[in-house]
Amino acid sequence: SVIVPVHNSECWLDECLKSVWEQDFKGTMELSVFNDASKDGSAEIIEKWKIKLEDAGVPVIIGRNDSSQPRGVGFAKNQAVIQSSGTYLCFLDSDDVMMPQRVRLQHEAAIQHPNSIIGCQVRREPLESTERYTRWINNLTEEQLLTQVFTSHGPTVIMPTWFCSREWFFHVGKFDEGGKGIPEDLLFFYKHIQTGGEVFRVNHCLLLYRYHPQAATHSVLEGTIWNHRVRFLEDRVLSSWTSFTIWNAGKQGKKLYRSLSPANQKKVTAFCDVDEKKITKGFYTYEESEERPKPKIPICHFKDATPPFIICVKLDLTGGAFETNLSTLNLKEGMDYYHFN
């Protein structure tokens, strides 16, 4: 079942649904669309493609929310899944376009990896938008698909590329339906990991991934995502560590420290950095603390710091300087350090 939530998507929908029609998959396939209170011409475009797809042997199920207000992406995706019947679910955003081999290649991978969310590589449209993010999506190693789940980039395989079994989807338990401002894909992804789910990526570019101002992503506040990420990090990593170093004595590192639970703040033995000014200062005083005396955390050079590290330095931004520094320590990602950048 190809799952397409729709809300005011008329300018992209033709291209999106045409890409369903162009799939080279030889098995049985259906399209399940849920139209969430669109006020534009989306409904007419869906009806037009229903005739075309059904002529080609692809049944089309259309659900709709006819009220004046959309219920949000999580709700629309859940409804599209509930009304569909395929053994596998292929998620497709109404502003994106699949390559003809997408369903075939991800279906093959899903059979091999039954408890996985299967992703793929993408091509960003327009090309120059979110270059670092796109590089990250396409170049993560198999191990990093699980170790880099705490970064601000969000799920290591992005939602518009998701493919999984229906059974596993319901085992994890559907998308959050809180509506606007809820990062429903991130919350589902975290739940998936916590349930023991795996992450796999087909190393082919199978999706044209559009960037535009109307995308639902832009309605989620950074603070909301930050809080979810911190709680997930505490649950998955910090709960089993007795002490650690925060790599970055600047704004991001201090922000992470302040966001931690009191028990995890006590585990921070030091901040480390390369900035001589910060290192010379010698320590960070947590001014907002209720404790007396206020906690003072030492600041040292990264070469003098003790792993494990939580790294709050942005990747791919320093012309390779940070990456080189990290590699000199010969540490193992997922054991000696995690990125939280």
For the stretch 26-72, pLDDT in tens is: 999 999 999 999 999 999 999 999 999 999 999 999 999 999 999 99
Mean pLDDT along residues 167-181: 94
| Bridge-based pairing state of the strands 296-301 and 268-273 | parallel
Would you state the pLDDT for residue 130?
87
- Binned at pLDDT 50, 70 and 90, residue 216 comes out as low
| CA pair distance 256, 243, nearest whole angstrom | 15
Mean pLDDT along residues 222-242: 96
Phi, psi of 24 (to 5 degrees): -95, 15
Q: What is the pTM of this model?
A: 0.95
pLDDT averaged over the chain?
Answer: 95
Contact 310, 340 (CB under 8 A): yes
- Binned at pLDDT 50, 70 and 90, residue 180 comes out as confident
What is the number of alpha carbons within 13 Å of residue 114 lying toward its C-beta?
Answer: 3
Q: Would the CATH topology of 2-220 be identical to that of 223-339?
A: no
Closest residue by Cα to residue 32 from 2, 77, 6: 2
**223-339: CATH number:** 3.40.50
| CA pair distance 259, 253, nearest whole angstrom | 10
| CA pair distance 341, 251, nearest whole angstrom | 12
| CA pair distance 180, 86, nearest whole angstrom | 28
218 pLDDT more than 70: no
For the stretch 191-214, pLDDT in tens is: 999 999 999 999 999 999 998 776
221 pLDDT more than 90: no
Mean pLDDT along residues 106-134: 94
* Residue-range domain boundaries for the chain: 2-220, 223-339
Cis peptide, bond prior to residue 59, ω within 30 of zero? no
Phi, psi of 79 (to 5 degrees): -60, -40
Would you state the pLDDT for residue 112?
98
Count of CB atoms situated within 10 Å of the CB of 169: 22
CA distances from 198 to 163, 186, 201, 335 (A): 12, 15, 10, 18
Closest residue by Cα to residue 275 from 255, 306, 252, 309: 252
For the stretch 299-334, pLDDT in tens is: 999 999 999 999 999 999 989 999 999 999 999 999
Which strands, in side-by-side order, build the sheet including 60-65? Answer: 60-65, 31-36, 2-6, 88-91, 163-165, 116-125, 198-210, 97-98
The CATH H-level superfamily of 2-220 is: Spore Coat Polysaccharide Biosynthesis Protein SpsA; Chain A (3.90.550.10)
217 pLDDT more than 70: no
Mean pLDDT along residues 131-150: 96
